[in-house]
Amino acid sequence: MLAGVPFTCAEVTDVSFALIATQINREARAAKLKQLQRRGTRSLLFAGLVLVVLNFLFCLAYVLVNLAHQGAPL
């Protein structure tokens, strides 16, 4: 085709099909990457919230233990 040789209709169809298939594959990979990025963001957000909740619970337990220790009658 590039050498100036005349090409048939079947060759043009094959090239057009290959270009369309390549475009579809590229769009599918881009969609999959975007989905993985969203899933990763959600996972990081969930892990961060779990750490915040655990930190809050440990602080609350620490305060309660200190209050119980200070207020214990002898």
> What is the pTM for the complete model shown?
0.63
Total domains, the chain? 1
The pLDDT, as a whole number, for residue 7 is 75
Domain that holds residue 26: 1-74
The pLDDT, as a whole number, for residue 63 is 93
DSSP 7-73: --HHHHHHHHHHHHHHHHHHHHHHHHHHHHHHHHHHHHHHHHHHHHHHHHHHHHHHHHHHHHHHS--
Ranges of residues in the chain whose predicted pLDDT is under 50: none
The pLDDT, as a whole number, for residue 3 is 65
